[in-house]
Structure 1
Amino acid sequence: MKFAPICMLMLFVIFQPTMAQDKPITISGKVVENAGHQALEYSTVKLLDTQTDQLISGTTTAADGSFSLETKAADFYLEVGFIGFIKLKITDFDVVNRRVELGVIALSEDTETLDEVVVQGEKSQTVFKLDKRVFNVGSDLSSTGASALEVLNNVPSVAVNIEGQIRLRGSTGVQILINGKPSVLTSEGGNALGTLTADMIESIEVITNPSAKYEASGTSGIINIILKKEEKRGLNGSVTLNTGVPNNHSLGFSLNNRTEKFNLFSQIGIGHRTFPQDFKTINRNLENDTTVNSVGDSEKNEKFINVILGTDYHINAQNVLSLTGSFAYEFETEYSNSLFSEYDAANSLTSQWSRNEVTEATNPKYQYELQYKKSFKRHEDQMLLFSALGSFFGKDQSSEFENMPVIGNESLSERQQTVNNFYQGEYTFKLDYTHPFSDKITLEGGAQYVINDVSNDYAISEWEDIRWVEIPELSNLFDYNQKVLGIYGTGAYEGDKFGVKLGLRVENTDLETVLQDTDESNQLLFTNLFPSTHLSYKVLDNFSLQGGYSRRISRPRLWDLNPFYNIRNNYNISTGNPELLPEYTDSYEVNGIFDQGPVSLNAAVYYRYTTDVVEDVTTFEDNISITRPENIGTNKATGIEVNAKYDPADWWSLNGDFNYNYFKREGDFEGTSFDFNADQWSARMTSKFGLPADFDVEITGNYQSGYLTFQREMSGYVFADLGVRKKIMKGKTIVNLSIRDVFASRIFESETRQSSFYLYDYRLRGRFITLGVSYGFGKGEAMEFSGQKRF
C-alpha cells in the first residue's frame, strides 16, 4: 500500500489552500410531499448566489427526505425541487451558531405537470453515500429488456461472466441481497436472478465495506437489489413491451393505487428469451502428446412469468404493516451440438464424433414477506422494523446426451442421461431498532435468523439395450441445511466535521451436508465475531474523507458443496466438494469524495486479506479433466478505485470507473507451493447525450484485463453497449433501442498450463438487440426505459 499515503498527500495538497477559510454555515432540513408528508428521496436541493443566480453547491435528499450541506458564501438562497412537484424557493434564514435548521419542507404536487406527464429530469446514474454507492437503473439506457444479471454487469465495480458468476472489484464471494434481505432468487441454482428483469428494479446498492448491521456473508462486500414499489397517490400504472434479436420478447404491466390508509401495488410480466453460445475446448495430454478438441454451439431458451402483489397498510402515522408476495415460473429448453476430434502424438486425426444434448427444466419460485414498521414521535429517525420472509426455489431438470461416431471407433456411440431434482427453501426473520439520542448520536441493534434447507436428488445413467441404468458412483441424494443466527449493535456519532461509527456482530453458523445414498455427512458448527469501524471527516464543503474496516465471511456456496457431476463435456467435468471451509476476509478502505458543480470524484484505496481462499483445482487423467473447488492458501489484495462524473454541458454527461488491484497468493496444494504475484484492472466509460426532439443517446465502453488464478490464465476482453431513447406523447410514452455487446467482442477465454496437461476454453455469447416501448398512465411519469417507472 505504498501508493496509499501518496494519494492522500496529493489530495491534501490540492485542497489545502482553501482549508484556512472561515468555518462554514451548515444548512439542513427534510423534504416531504405536502399531501401525505411522505419523504421525497432524491429531491434536488440547490444553493444559489443571490446576485448571480449561479450554483454554489447542491445535494440530493436521503431515503428519509433529509439533507445537509455547507457553505462559506455570505449571500445565498435555496431552491428545492422534485419531479412532478412545484419548486420551492427559500430566501429567509435564521443563522444560529453557524447553523440553519429549516425543519420540514413540504412540496405541493404540480397538477399541470402531472396532467401532461412531462419528464423534466432524472436521477444521477450513480449516487455516492456514506457507506455505499447507489446505481439508479432507470438512467441506464442499454438495460432495455435485460435480466438482473445483465443489469449488474453495467454497475460500477461489478463484473458478471458468461456463467453468471458475479465479481466485485475483481473478487468473488459477493453477498447478493434483495431489498436488504437474503433471497433464493439470488442463489446460484439455475440462474435464478435471470427471472428478475430490469423493469422490476429501482436501484442497485454496492457496499464494499459493510457495517456490522449487515449480515457478514460476502468477503468482497454486498450488492443489494432494490425492487421498485410505486407509492404515488391515486391510480398509477404502466405497460411495457420488448422485442429483440436473438429472442428477447416480454410484456409487463404494473399498477398501484394509493389511498390514505392503503397502498396496493402489483407487477405482472411474461417473456421468452434465447441465449446462444459458441464454444471451443482443447484437452492436451503433455505426457503422451495426445489431444481431444471440441467445437460447437448451444442455445438456451427461457419462457417465464412473474407476478408480484403487495399492500402497505398505514395503521396510523407511526405504524405501517406490509405484505408482499411474488411468484415466478420458468420453462427451460437447451440444445447443444459439439464435434469432438481426437489426435495422436503425430497430430493425426484418429477418431471423431458428435455429441448432442437436449435439456428440459421447470423452475417454480415463490416468495412472501410480512413487515411491520413503527416510527416514533420522539424523533423522526427512531424506528423499529420487523420482517418475516419465506421463499422457495425448485428445479426439475433432465438432460439427454448422445454420441454419434463420425470417424473411427464405433464404440464411441453411447447415450447418457442426467436427472436433477432440486429444491431450496429459505426463511429469514429480522428485527432492527434505531434509537437516536440526539441529532449526532445514534445507537442501532438487532438480530437475524436465517434457515436454509436444500435437497438435490441427482442421478447419471447410461443406456443399455432397452433401458437406462443408473451409475451408482455418480448418483446420490444431497441434503444441505444451514442455520445462521446473527446479533449486532452499532453506535454512531456524526458531528459537523467528524463522524465515527463502531459496530460488532456475532454470528453462529450450523451447517450440515449429507449424501444420503452413501451415508456421508459433514457438519460445521462455529461462532464468529465481526467488528466494523467507519470514520468520516469533512475537509471542505465539497471534499470529504472516509475510512472503514470490516471483517467478513464467505460460507461455501451450495453448488461448490454439491458433488453432482456436470458431464456436458465428458472431457471437462466439474463437481463440488462437501468438505469446503468458509473464507475469512479483513477489509480496509479509505475514500476521498469531491463534488464541485459539474464534477464529482470518488477515489478509494483498499486492502483485503483473505484466508482459506476457495479456488477451482483441476486434475487430469486419460485426457479427462475434473475440476472441483478446494481451500488453498491466502490472498493479499491491494487496490485503487476511481469513480468520476463530469457534465460538460446540460445535454452531455460522462461517467467513468477504474479499478486496479495487485494481489499476492501464498499456499500449497498436495505438497506443491503455488506462491505467485499478479494484478488485474477494469475500466468503464459512459457518455450520455441529450439531443433535440427528446432523444437521448448513451454509449458505454468496457474493458476487463486478464488475470491469473491458482492454475488458470483468464484473457481480457473489451466490449461496447449502445442505448437510444425517444420520448413521445408529452413523455407518456418512451421508446428505447439497446444494443448490448455491439461488436460481439465479449469473449471469455481461459488457459490452464500444468506440467502434465494443457486446457483451453473459449465462449462467445454475441450481440443482443432489443426494442422496447413503455406507456405510463395516472399521476406517475412514463418510464425512462422499458419497464422502469420514474418516481
Structure 2
Amino acid sequence: MSTSWAQDQMTTISGEVRDTARAPIDLATIVLLNAADSSYIRSVFSNEQGAYTIPAVKGGRYLLATSLIGYRKDYHPITVNASSQHLRVATITLVPEMNALKEVAVTATLPSVERKDGALVVNVANSALAAGNTALDILQRSPGVAVDKDGNISLMGRQGVTVMIDGKQTYLSAEQLANMLKSMDGNNVQSIELNTNPSAKYDAAGTAGIINIKLKKNELEGTNGTLSLSAGYGKSHKSNSSLQVNHKVGKINLFGNYSYVNNAFNNDLELYRIIGQGQSAKVFDQLANFKNKRSSSNVRAGIDYQSSKRNTISALFSGFFLKGNDHSTSNNKISDLNSPIDSTLTTLNNGKNRYHNLSFNVNNTFTIDTSGRKLVVEADISTFEDHTNSNYTNYFYLANGDYLRDPEYILNDMPSEIHIQTVKADYTHPLTSKSKIEAGAKYSSVKSDNDMGFFDQINGHWEDNTQRSNHFIYTERVSAAYAIYSQTVHKTEIKAGLRLEHTYSDGNSVTLNQRNKRDYFSFFPNVSLNQQLSEKNNIGISYSRRINRPNYGNLNPFLYYVDPYSYQQGNPFLDPSYTNSYELNYTLLKKYTLTAGYQKTKDMVGEMMYQNDETNVAYVTNENIASEQVYFVNVNLPLAVGKVWSSNTNINAMHLGYKADLPTDPIDFGQFGLQANSNHTFAITPSFRLETTFQYQSPLRWSIYRIGSYWSLDMGVNKSFMDKKLQLKLAVSDIFNTRPNKVTTDYANLNIRVHNTWESRVARFTLTYNFGNQKLKVKQRDLDSDEKSRVGK
C-alpha cells in the first residue's frame, strides 16, 4: 500500500455511477486500489441512486475500478489529499458491452482444486464427474480423503475428522453420516473445503481437521432454477433427481431444493482368519455378499430478507427422509489348518432402516457500520430418528451338508433418537485498516437415546436376551468462547487466537446401571504468520491445538451382532484425545502450493480387535490405544496448456507412526504412504468438455492394521446446448474396477486378511436444465463475505 499516507487525517470518498443515458446504476462494484501496485484496499456498492461512499481513506494515489456484469470495466485515477476530509469524484459512466455475459461465462470457470484461506477447496459444481454421484462418492474422490468400509472418513491419512455441511457440524456417528452422504445428490454440492489447521473461530473438535461440504445456493435475480435427472448402473441401478428453485425480488430471496435418490449397492467381503498355532490352529474362511437399497428424499426451503441496508435475516428448514433394505448372505467354512472343511456356518440377514432428520436454522447478519464491524447471530435446532432392525438366521452344517445343530434365529431392534440445539454469535471489529479483533461464543447441546433390543427365538417365541439388550442415553453440552487478533505489519500478517471450551458429558447405561460423567475445561490456542515475499509469492506458518471427543456411538456399551463368531462393542470409558498441529505452507505464483506439517496426538482413539482362541470369537472395540505422530507434505499443482487443457494434481506424502505400552503386546508401528489425485479437463469446444480423474493410494499402516494400495480412473464428458441452459453428462467411475479395500493384521494372536470389494465401477448419464432468468445481479454485500465464511478464516 502507498507509503505516502498521512498519519493524522482520514478522507471520505464519494461519487456516482451512471450509464450512457445518465440513469443511475444500482449495485455496481467500486474497488479502491493502490495506484502503485494495484493491490486491493476495500470495496463498496452503489445504491439505487447510483451513489457510493468509501470512508476512512488515507492520503495517497489510488485507482477506482468500477464494474458490473453487462458493462465495460472502468478505471478512474484519483489523488487523496491528506489534509482534506472529503473528496467528491467526478461521475463515473459505464458503457454497455453486448458480449460481457458471454465473456464472464468463459473467464469465471473455477479451477477444480484451489487453496484459499488455509483450506484446500474442491470445486465440484457443474463437473461431469460429480453429476449423478452422491455426496459420499464426491467426498472420497477429493484430495487426501479416504472412506473405509464402515464409513469412517480420514483426511491426509488421519481419522478424527469433523464433517460440516454449510458450516454446521453434523454430530452424527460414522454410519449415520455415511448413510446421509450416500443419499445426498451430488448435483446439490457446490464445493468441498478441506482444512487440517482451522482457526479458533471453529469448533476445536476434529484432530485431523475439518471437512466442510458447501451446498449450492442460487443468487440470481428473478425466478430461476435447475432440474437434474440422472440414471446409472454398475451391478445394480442408481438414480438421482433434483429440483432447485429460486425467487429473488428486491429485499426478499426465496429458495427451495428437493432431491430424490434411489440407489442399490452390492458389496462382496472375503475374511480369512487363522486362530491358534500349530496343529490346533483353526481356519475360518468367510465369503459374504451384501445387497443394500436406499431411497431418500431431501428437502431444503429458506428465505433471506434484507430488513435494512445493513441487516439480513435468514431462515432455513431442511428435512431428510430415508428408507433402506439390507440383505446379506455369509458362508463361513471352518476347518483345521491344512485340512478339509469340517463344518460350515451360513448366516442370512434381512434388515430394514428408517431414518429421518428435521432441522431449522435462523441467522441474523448485522453490518454495524461501513468500517467493517459486523455481528452474526445464529440458532439451530435438529432432530434425528433412526430405526434399524435386523433378522439373523444361522444355519450350522457338517461337511456332508447335514445339520450340525438346529438353526438359530436372532432379532436386533435398534431405535435411536438424537436432539441437537446450538446457538452462537460472532463479532468482527476492525481496529485500523490493518488490524481487527474477532470474538464469539457458542453453546451446543446433544442428547442421544439408544434403546437396543436383542431377542432370541425360543420355541417359536421371541424372548429378550437381557445379556445383550441395552438402553443407553448420552448427553453432551459444550460451551465455547473465542477471540482472534489479526494485524498486518508491512507485508506480514499475524493472527493469534484462543478458544476456550467447557464440556459436560453423561453416558448413562440404563440397563447396566452404569454411568460415566465428565466435566472439563480445555484451551485451544491458534497462531499463524503469513509473509508476502513478493507480489505472487508468500510463505506461512501456523499452529493449533484440537480435540477429538469420543463419538456417542463408540461410547455405547452394547454389543452389535455380526454372526456367532464376531461382533462389535462400545466402550463407555473412552477419554478425549488432543492433537498439536504445526504447518508450514508456501505459495508460488499465487497458484502452486506446498504444505508441510507435523501432528502429534495423545491418547488416540483407535479401533482394536481381540480374539478368544478357545471360543473362536473375535470382537472389535475402540480404545485410547496410543500416541500418534504424523508427518506430511502436500503439493498442489494446477496447470493450464492453452485454452483447451487444464489440470490440477494433488500429491500427499506422509508418515504415520503409533506407539503404545499395552500390557499384552506393545505397539510401535510406522510406515510411509503416498496419496495422489489428478484431475484433467479438456475444453474440446466451447460446448463440449472431457474430464478425467486419477487416484492412487499406496499401502498404509493405521494402528494395528495394514491397508492395501489401490488406484482408479474416472472419466466423463459434458455437452451443453441452448446457450448452456441444457447439459448432458456421461461419466464412468473406476473404469478398471481397481478400488478394493484390503486390510490385514498379525498383531498379538490375530492373523486376519480382509478383502472388501464394493460397487465402485458405475456408469451414469445426467441431464441438467437451467430455466428462468440467468442474468446475474450481485447481492449487495461486502466482497469478502464469501471468503470469510470459508473453513479456516
Q: How does 1:117-156 map to 2 (within 5 A)?
A: 121-138=108-125, 140-156=127-143
Indicate which of 680, 686, 691 corresponds to 1:687.
Answer: 680
Amino acid at match of 2:121: V
Letter in 1 for 2:210: I
In structure 2, the partner of 1:655 is: 648
Task: Note the alpha carbon deviations across 1:696-753, whole angstroms, 9 max, x for none.
Answer: 1111111112112332211111111112111111111011112111111111011111
Could you report, residue by residue, the CA deviation over 1:395-418 in whole angstroms, capped at 9, with x for unpaired residues?
111111112345444316222111
2:756 counterpart of 1:763: yes
Structure 1 residue 692: Cα displacement: 2.3
Matched, 1:276 2:266: yes
| Matched residue type, 2:137 | E
CA RMSD of aligned residues (A): 3.6
Q: Which amino acid aligns with 2:704?
A: Q
Residue of structure 2 in register with 1:311 after alignment: 303
Check conservation: 1:238, 1:254, Cα contact below 8 A.
yes
Query: Conserved in 2, the CA contact under 8 Å of 1:115 and 1:779?
Result: no
- 2:532 corresponds, among 538, 551, 562, to 538
Task: Find the partner of 1:339 among 324, 331, 339.
Answer: 331
Percentage of matched positions with identical amino acids: 25
Which range is displaced more, 620-629 or 426-435?
620-629
Query: Residue 745 of structure 1 is aligned with which of 726, 738, 747?
Result: 738
Are positions 1:326 and 2:318 aligned together? yes
Give me the whole-angstrom Cα distance separating, in 1, the residues matched to 2:93 and 2:527: 36
CA deviation map 1:369-421 (0-9, x unaligned) = 01111002231x32100000011111111111112345444316222111110
Structure 1 residues 268, 414: closer, same or farther in 2, change over 3 A?
Answer: same
Q: Which moved more, 1:84-93 or 1:138-147?
A: 84-93
> Which letter does structure 1 place at the counterpart of 2:206?
G
Larger displacement relative to structure 2 (515-524 or 186-195): 186-195
Cross-structure match for 2:146: 159
User: Matched residues in 1 for 2:38 and 2:595: separation?
Assistant: 23
* CA distance in 1 between partners of 2:308 and 2:406 (Å): 72
Offset at residue 469 of structure 1 (A): 1.9
User: CA–CA distance in 2 between the matches of 1:94 and 1:566?
Assistant: 73
Letter in 2 for 1:612: D
CA drift at 1:346: 4.0
In structure 1, what is the Cα distance between the partners aligned to 2:42 and 2:764?
34
> Which runs of 5 or more structure 1 residues have no equivalent in the other structure?
1-21, 50-55, 66-75, 783-791
Contact 1:117/1:732 (8 A) holds in 2 = no
Instruction: Indicate conservation of the 8 Å contact 2:656/2:702, yes or no.
Output: no
Report the secondary structure of 2:517's partner residue.
Answer: strand
- Cα offsets for 1:535-568 (capped at 9, x unmatched): 1000011100011000000000122112232323
The yes-or-no answer on 1:528 pairing with 2:518 is: no
CA 1:117–1:712: 2 relative to 1, 3 Å? closer
Tell which deviates more after alignment, 405-414 or 141-150.
Answer: 405-414
Alignment of 1:192-203 (within 5 A): 192-203=180-191
Aligned to 1:787: none
Matched with 1:423 is 417
Q: Is the 8 A contact 1:283 1:623 kept in 2?
A: no
Of the structure 1 ranges 385-394 and 673-682, higher mean CA displacement relative to structure 2 is found in 673-682
Shift of 1:311: 0.2
Counterpart for residue 639 of structure 1: 632
Paired residue type of 2:578: Y
- Per-residue deviation, residues 567-622 of structure 1 (Å, max 9, x unmatched): 234433222111100110000001001126xxx21001111111001121111112
Which residue matches 2:250?
Answer: 260
In the TM superposition, 1:320-469 aligns within 5 A as 320-379=312-371, 381-408=372-399, 409-411=403-405, 413-469=407-463
Is contact 1:85–1:107 with CA below 8 Å preserved after alignment? no
Determine the C-alpha separation between the residues in 2 that align with 1:390 and 1:187: 21
Say which SS state the counterpart of residue 574 (structure 2) adopts: coil
Do the aligned partners of 2:397 and 2:405 also contact (CA within 8 Å) in 1? no
The residue type equivalent to 2:685 in the other structure is P
Is the Cα–Cα contact under 8 Å of residues 64 and 77 in structure 2 kept in the other structure?
A: no
Q: 1:48, CA displacement in angstroms?
A: 14
Decide whether aligned partners of structure 1 residues 128 and 675 sit closer, same or farther in structure 2, where only a CA change above 3 A counts: same
The question of whether the paired residues in 2 share the 8 Å contact of 1:430 and 1:447 is answered with yes
8 A Cα contact 1:118 1:732, kept in partner: no
Structure 1 position 295 matched with structure 2 position 282: no
Residue 85 of structure 1 deviates from its aligned partner by 4.2
Kindly state the Cα deviation for residue 251 of structure 1 after the two structures are TM-superposed: 1.8
Amino acid at match of 1:687: H
Aligned equivalent of 2:158: 171
Which secondary structure does the structure 2 equivalent of 1:171 belong to? coil
In the TM superposition, 1:105-116 aligns within 5 A as none
1:243 lines up with 2:228 in the alignment: no
Question: Judging changes above 3 Å, is the alpha-carbon distance between structure 1 residues 109 and 305 closer, same or farther for their aligned structure 2 residues?
Answer: farther
Which structure's CA Rg is the greater one? 2
Distance in 2 (CA, whole Å) between partners of 1:109 and 1:347 is: 85
Q: Secondary structure at the match of 2:146?
A: strand
C-alpha contact 1:79 1:87 (8 A) present in aligned 2: no
AA matched with 2:230: N
Instruction: Please tell me whether residue 517 in structure 1 is matched to residue 511 in structure 2.
Output: yes
CA 1:355–1:323 in 2, change beyond 3 Å: closer, same or farther?
A: same
Measure, in 2, the Cα distance between the counterparts of 1:139 and 1:106.
35
The answer to whether the 8 A contact 1:117-1:779 is kept is no
Post-superposition offset of 1:184: 4.6
Partner Cα distance (2:680, 2:416) in 1: 44
Question: Does 2:626 align with 1:626?
Answer: no
Q: 1:462 to 1:243 in 2, by over 3 A?
A: same
Whether contact under 8 Å (1:183, 1:391) holds in the other structure is no
**How far apart are the structure 2 equivalents of 1:213 and 1:105?**
40
In 2, distance between residues paired with 1:47 and 1:726?
42
Q: Which amino acid aligns with 2:241?
A: L
Length-normalised TM-score, structure 1? 0.86
CA deviation profile, 1:350-370 (whole Å, cap 9, x unmatched): 012422111111111111001
CA change 1:693–1:649 in 2 (3 A) is: closer
Provide Cα deviations, 1:770-791, integer angstroms capped at 9, x if missing partner.
1110111122379xxxxxxxxx
Task: State whether residues 254 and 303 of structure 2, in contact with CA within 8 Å, keep that contact through their aligned partners in structure 1.
Answer: yes
Match for residue 222 of structure 1? 210
**SS of match in other structure, 2:343:** strand
Matches within 5 A, 1:78-89: 85-89=70-74
Report the residue type matching 1:372 in the other structure: N
1:607 equivalent to 2:613? Answer no
SS in 2 for 1:199: helix
CA distance in 2, matches of 1:151, 1:24: 50
State the AA in 1 paired with 2:472.
F
Cα offset, 1:199, TM superposition: 2.1
Give the aligned residue type for 2:302: G
Give the SS at the match of 1:449: strand
Q: 1 CA distance for matches of 2:408 and 2:578?
A: 45
Select 2:222's aligned residue among 234, 246, 250.
Answer: 234
Q: Secondary structure at the match of 1:211?
A: coil
Q: Does the 8 Å contact 1:353/1:412 carry over to 2? A: no
Specify the SS of the correspondent of 1:662: strand
Q: 1:38 to 1:539 in 2, by over 3 A?
A: same
Structure 2 segments unaligned to the other structure (5+ residues):
6-12, 19-23, 47-61, 777-793
Contact map agreement 2:442 2:480 (CA 8 A) in 1: yes
The 8 Å contact of residues 503 and 532 in structure 1, kept in 2 or not, is answered as yes
TM (normalized to structure 2)?
0.86
Provide the rounded CA distance (Å) in 1 between the counterparts of 2:518 and 2:649.
Answer: 43
- Equivalents in 2 of 1:417, 1:748: separation in Å? 29
Aligned residue type for 1:370? V
